[in-house]
Amino acid sequence: MAKSSQPMQSDQASPPAASPELLDRSDPEAEIARAVRAYSNWGRWGADDVLGTANFITDGLRLAAAGLVRRGASFSLSQRFDMDGPQRGWRRRTNPVHTMLGTGTDAALGNQGFPHGIGGADDVIAMPLQCSTQWDGLGHIFDHGKAWNGRDAARTVTSDGDLVTGIEQLARPMCGRGVLLDAGRVIGPALGTAGGGRGELPDGFAITAEHLTATAAAHGVTVGRGDLVLVRTGQYARALREGWGNYAGGAAPGLSFTTAGWLHRTEIAAVATDTWGFEVRPNEFDNAFQPLHQVAIPHLGLLIGEMWALEELADDCAADGVYEFFLTAAPLPITGAVGSPVNPIAVK
């Protein structure tokens, strides 16, 4: 008999698993339902909300974050956007294709048709919006046909785009206090693996709430309301050294499904990682696909960043012992998009 699409009442009534070993790996749907019941933010900011957890970033918090700038040192947290990126065609995701529309050669040959010797170059780029460093928007993931805040997914995101929570809604608020949690450096060495010795977590390693808390303590920082939290696993460093391999869609370290409670409890505004998919892969169930996304985006309203380049910032944080900074990470205001490229800038 086929399993019902809705969990049994007894499953709904039980609390979410607090640690990976307590997960029922044979029943991701029931585990998702338990997490949704405990952590949903539907209605928290009203029925018409389009910002989700970005609501946590207040003007006062941005003002305080600006005070974190001491040296004026800035760090781009973006990977490259070019044809040598990590994409392998999953769901038609390709690397960017950059084409010149006008060149210096054209100008030198005088075939551009401009007067008095002026010439110029122009170009165009074609790419999926989530092919490199990017934000997942609130219209990116649904749960049983429901989008963020309980909306009907079929009426929210259509062939015309995200009609309600398009990524353009988040172009203004996404700046404030950034916090780096370098899980690779803190947790990796204790694992006794070669990668761990280099401050890198092995593929398939599930980062728990306890790991996040321990990492914050090791860095001497707290994580709280309105923060933009960056979690470094070290997988991107490994890809830079060894090649992309299966970076896009393959096995990876990442957040455990059981961190849903931590993501909700801390009231952070957003979370980003240096991996393709944010959560641990393979996922922690016998048959599942990105179950933490299914809770975090449509139910928490949490903005998720993926494929962020955190190495230079992490080296600087390790050198000066300061793991908090001003971070600006506005998505491109592409009307109706469910994701966006971004060039995040951390300033210390």
Looking at the predicted structure, is the pLDDT value of residue 6 above 50? no
Closest CA to 202 of 280, 271, 284, 87: 280
Structure tokens that stand for 183 in this block = 């899980």
What's the predicted TM-score (pTM) here? 0.94
* 173 — pLDDT class (breaks 50, 70, 90): very high
The architecture of the domain spanning 9-86+128-347 is 3-Layer(bba) Sandwich (3.50)
Strand 228-232 vs strand 270-273: parallel, antiparallel, or unpaired?
A: parallel
Identify the pLDDT of residue 193: 62
Please write the tens of the pLDDT for every residue from 264-278: 999 999 999 999 999
C-alpha distances out from residue 157 to 154, 161, 304, 314, Å: 6, 5, 18, 37
Identify the pLDDT of residue 190: 86
Closest CA to 267 of 309, 305, 222: 222
Let me know: does 299 contact 143? Beta carbons within 8 Å: yes
Residue type, 246: N
Domain ranges of the chain: 9-86+128-347
Please write the tens of the pLDDT for every residue from 253-263: 999 999 999 99
Looking at the predicted structure, is the pLDDT value of residue 2 above 80? no
Identify the pLDDT of residue 191: 85
Looking at the predicted structure, is the pLDDT value of residue 86 above 50? yes
| Helix/strand number for the chain, H first, E second | 12, 17
Integer Cα distance of 201 and 204 in angstroms? 9
